[in-house]
């Protein structure tokens, strides 16, 4: 008899609104946000600046609370930050006076590990991101891409179930960004960590994601959910990749704008 595969919702949002006080009035930043994130998914949240992407990520991480609606992680209401869901920013937040190894070990202090266990785990995840030869270097001695790899190792060392990523590669050049995107997919496959990524980069979203949530602004809403049904790793030059890329460009009306441009010199 054939088995029926079931998937579990790790994150659930139902009717989530978020308002902030501004000039004595309540300004709605998010409205009626509804979606699930299943275990094993890589989700990208894509939208223009000011549509509430980072606010949404902060709600999921428990750094802020919805004004209305329900937000659950693993079946429980999110009321505060948890080490089960770790935030990773484009700014690496490494302590400049601590070595690479000591920066990762810092995240493990609440784990109650022995000094040897903490060191071994930190080294394991630094090896995972290819930094085993940089353990005793300081952040100032590393490139931007290497610093982000330290930040990824630090997040992974906690062994979270969910990593929330807010434009983590935005400050990097194209080559480093592509390299780290591939590394992220490899690490996800190896570690089984769920990822929700906030990005402005359409190609990045198509390359990495199982599903892409497109947001509109004023207030922020999820306008479209796109399942990217392509095997990984993906070929950015393939027509199937370009199909999804054009689909998203059309959603933002960029294709028409490009057509209207006059490239004659």
Domains and CATH numbers, the chain: 9-84+161-259 (3.40.50.300), 94-159 (no CATH)
Pairing of strands 9-22, 25-38: antiparallel
Cα dihedral sign, 224-41-51-222: positive
- Dihedral sign (CA 105, 111, 116, 120): negative
Other beta carbons within 10 angstroms of residue 264's beta carbon come to 4
Q: Three-state DSSP class for 146?
A: helix
Q: Which residues contact 112 (CB under 8 A, 6 or more apart)?
A: none
pLDDT at 137: 96
Q: How far is CA 145 from the centre of its chain?
A: 16
* pLDDT tens track, the chain, 265 positions: 444 445 789 999 999 999 998 888 889 999 999 999 999 999 999 998 889 999 999 999 999 999 999 999 999 999 999 999 998 877 778 999 999 999 999 999 998 899 999 999 999 999 999 999 999 999 999 998 899 899 999 999 999 999 999 988 888 888 888 988 998 998 898 888 899 999 989 999 999 999 999 999 999 999 999 999 999 989 999 999 999 999 999 998 854 444 444 434 3
Residues 6 or more apart whose CB falls under 8 angstroms from that of 63 comprise 81, 87
């Amino acid at each position: 008899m054939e088995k029926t595969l079931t998937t579990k919702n790790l994150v659930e949002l139902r009717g989530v609104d978020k308002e902030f006080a501004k000039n004595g009035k309540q300004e709605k930043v998010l409205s009626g946000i509804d979606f699930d994130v299943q275990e094993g998914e890589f989700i990208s949240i894509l939208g223009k600046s000011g549509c509430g992407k980072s606010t949404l990520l902060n709600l999921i991480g428990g750094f802020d609370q919805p004004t209305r609606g329900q937000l659950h992680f693993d079946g429980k209401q999110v009321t505060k930050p948890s080490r089960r869901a770790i935030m990773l920013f484009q700014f690496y937040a490494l302590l400049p006076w601590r070595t690479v190894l000591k920066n990762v070990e810092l995240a493990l202090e609440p784990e109650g590990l022995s000094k040897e266990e903490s060191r071994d785990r930190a080294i394991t995840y630094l090896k995972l991101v290819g930094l085993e030869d940089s353990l005793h270097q300081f952040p100032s001695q590393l490139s931007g891409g290497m610093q982000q790899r330290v930040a990824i190792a630090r997040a992974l060392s906690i062994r979270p179930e969910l990593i929330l990523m807010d434009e983590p590669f935005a400050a990097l050049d194209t080559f480093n960004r592509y390299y780290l995107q591939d590394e992220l997919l490899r690490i996800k496959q190896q570690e089984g960590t769920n990822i929700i990524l906030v990005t402005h980069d359409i190609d990045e979203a198509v390359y990495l994601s199982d599903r892409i949530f497109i947001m509109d602004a004023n207030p922020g809403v999820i306008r479209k959910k796109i399942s990217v049904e392509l095997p990984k790793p993906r070929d950015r030059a393939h027509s199937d990749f370009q199909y999804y890329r054009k689909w998203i460009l059309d959603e933002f009306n960029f294709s028409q704008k490009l057509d209207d441009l006059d490239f004659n010199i």
